[in-house]
């Protein structure tokens, strides 16, 4: 369920219908963009759109009237709802009739008719935060989406707040890839979901967080908050920007439950149906840049967490095994951590545990 407090500022960002169009019950007619998700506003009644009250780019609040739909026997005002969503709704904020006045942008306020008592001053120069570059040929200016602004702000705040340091290691993927190859058919037949590599890394991260609980903690003022739960955030890149849905209580889940959870969240991320609650919280993040071909990177911490694990592409490289040079599928892994809280020793031990579990998944069974 979406928290109402998170819906204080919404941007009316897109129109799915025009005046005169016929709409049916629960048919999306507009979109509202928040800091984290894009929400469909559905028609509460069947009828004809009589008027679109809000304009694209307007900042509205829950309950603000954005459209008027005429039907037999009356008129319905369509607005973003503060009520609980129905189970059949594709987004967490279905439409509901509300009689609330729309806030018009300040730019539409008519100018004062009073005569100026002093010569008019020149317009203020743009601030450093909002540079206005001169237009050039073959360039186009597009406003940043609210999601992109939020991502930019959070990443910059992370950089300004945390004493970030990154440590690296490399993992031989032979055992985990063989495990997947040997059991993928039986796994799919029993659980109805494919066995991937991400579930192995989630289980390895859970084991490492249990061994090094400080990595799962966070600084709050002069205190350290230790979390007795493990909620793993999975960074997902979408056409509209980076989102980080959360797998709750990953320490209580098996491989199949993790794979199902990842698939559901990834699907919602790609079609834009993630709710705010599905992205709230999280005690540790995993970012897999390897799916895009990244060989090595230094991931940035996702506030208010204290560390993030970066996975990278698998590359066959010559490795020395038992005195012989043999090709092995290798992956670089990186841990960026808040050095104010986590010492290098804990960070290295954490990555070492990831490496040990991925290279020999039997450790999870024996808890060694």
Kindly report which listed range (117-121, 198-202, 337-341) carries the lowest average pLDDT score: 117-121
**CA dist., res. 69 & res. 55, Å (int):** 16
Residue 88: is its pLDDT beyond 50?
A: no
Among 343, 356, 360, 367, which one carries the catalytic annotation? 343
Question: Which of the following is catalytic: 14, 251, 339, 356?
Answer: 339
Among 12-16, 46-50, 227-231, 353-357, which is the least confidently predicted range?
Answer: 12-16
Q: Is residue 339's pLDDT more than 80?
A: yes
**Confidence (pTM):** 0.69
Split at pLDDT 50, 70, 90, the class of 76 is low
HSE value, Cβ hemisphere, 13 Å, CA-based, for 220: 8
| Whether residue 3 lies in the annotated active site | no
Identify the CA nearest to 103 among candidates 67, 145, 61.
Answer: 61
What percentage of the chain carries pLDDT values higher than 70?
77
Give me the residues paired with residue 236 across strands.
Answer: 243
Of residues 299, 266, 263, 301, the one with CA closest to residue 284: 301
Summarize the confidence of residues 193-211 as an average pLDDT.
Answer: 96
Give whichever of 158-162, 233-237, 245-249 has the largest mean pLDDT.
245-249
Report the side by side order of strands in the sheet with 10-15: 38-42, 28-33, 10-15, 59-60
**pLDDT tier at 169, thresholds 50, 70, 90:** very high
Structure-model confidence comparison of residues 265 and 125, the more confident one:
265
DSSP state of 367: T
pLDDT for res 49: 81
Of 46-60, 99-113, 325-339, the range with the lowest mean pLDDT is 99-113
C-alpha distances out from residue 90 to 6, 35, 196, 267, 273, Å: 19, 19, 27, 13, 7
What would the DSSP string read from start to end of 18-68? -TT-EE-TT-EEEEEE-SS-EEEEE-SS-EEEEEE-S-TT-EE-TT---EE
> SS3 of 105, please?
coil
Rg, Å, the chain Cα set:
26
Could you say which architecture CATH assigns to the domain 149-366? 2-Layer Sandwich (3.30)
Residue owning tokens 């300040």: 106
Higher pLDDT, 358 or 99: 358
Please give the CATH topology (third level) of the domain spanning 4-103.
Answer: OB fold (Dihydrolipoamide Acetyltransferase, E2P) (2.40.50)
Query: In the chain, what percentage of residues exceed pLDDT 90?
Result: 49
Of the candidate ranges 43-47, 73-77, 100-104, 211-215, the one whose mean pLDDT is the lowest: 100-104
Judge whether 240 and 274 are in contact, CB under 8 Å. Answer: no
Q: What integer pLDDT is reported at residue 129 of this predicted model?
A: 57
Distance CA 316, CA 329 (A): 4
Strand 284-288 and strand 307-321: pairing? parallel
343 classed as catalytic: yes
Nearest residue to 301 (alpha-carbon basis) of 361, 244, 221: 244
Domain boundaries, the chain: 4-103, 149-366
Distance from the Cα of residue 48 to its chain's centroid: 36
What are the structure tokens assigned to 326, written together? Answer: 């043999």
Tokens of 249: 């209580």
Q: Check whether 206 has a pLDDT greater than 90.
A: yes
Residue written as token pair 């004493």: 163
Report the candidate in 181, 174, 175, 23 with the shortest Cα–Cα distance to residue 95: 23
Local structure of 11: helix, strand or coil: strand
Higher pLDDT, 262 or 122: 262
């Amino acid at each position: 369920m979406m928290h109402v407090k998170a819906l204080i500022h919404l941007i009316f960002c897109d129109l799915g219908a025009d005046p005169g169009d016929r709409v049916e019950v629960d048919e999306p007619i507009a979109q509202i963009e928040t800091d984290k998700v894009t929400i469909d506003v559905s028609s509460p009644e069947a009828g004809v759109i009589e008027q679109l009250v809000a304009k694209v780019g307007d900042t509205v609040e829950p309950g603000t009237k954005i459209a008027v739909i005429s039907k037999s026997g009356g008129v319905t005002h369509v607005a973003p709802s503060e009520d609980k969503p129905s189970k059949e709704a594709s987004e967490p904020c279905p439409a509901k009739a509300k009689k609330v006045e729309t806030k018009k942008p300040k730019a539409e306020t008519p100018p004062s008719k009073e005569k100026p008592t002093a010569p008019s001053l020149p317009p203020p120069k743009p601030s450093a935060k909002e540079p206005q570059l001169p237009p050039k040929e073959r360039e186009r200016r597009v406003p940043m989406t609210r999601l992109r602004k939020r991502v930019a702000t959070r990443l910059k705040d992370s950089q300004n707040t945390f004493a970030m340091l990154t440590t690296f290691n490399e993992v031989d993927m032979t055992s985990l890839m063989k495990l997947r190859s040997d059991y993928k058919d039986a796994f799919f037949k029993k659980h109805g979901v494919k066995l991937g590599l991400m579930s192995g890394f989630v289980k390895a991260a859970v084991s490492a967080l249990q061994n090094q609980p400080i990595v799962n903690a966070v600084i709050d003022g002069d205190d350290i908050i230790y979390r007795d739960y493990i909620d793993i955030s999975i960074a997902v890149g979408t056409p509209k920007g980076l989102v980080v849905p959360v797998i709750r209580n990953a320490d209580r889940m098996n491989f199949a439950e993790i794979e199902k959870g990842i698939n559901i969240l990834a699907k919602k991320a790609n079609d834009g149906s993630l709710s705010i609650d599905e992205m709230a919280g999280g005690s540790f993040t995993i970012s897999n840049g390897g799916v895009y071909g990244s060989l090595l990177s230094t991931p940035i911490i996702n506030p208010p967490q204290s560390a993030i694990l970066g996975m990278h592409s698998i590359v066959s490289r010559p490795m020395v095994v038992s005195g012989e040079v043999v090709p092995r599928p290798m992956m670089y892994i990186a841990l960026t951590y808040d050095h104010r809280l986590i010492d290098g020793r804990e960070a290295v031990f954490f990555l070492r545990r990831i490496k040990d579990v991925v290279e020999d998944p039997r450790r999870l069974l024996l808890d060694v």
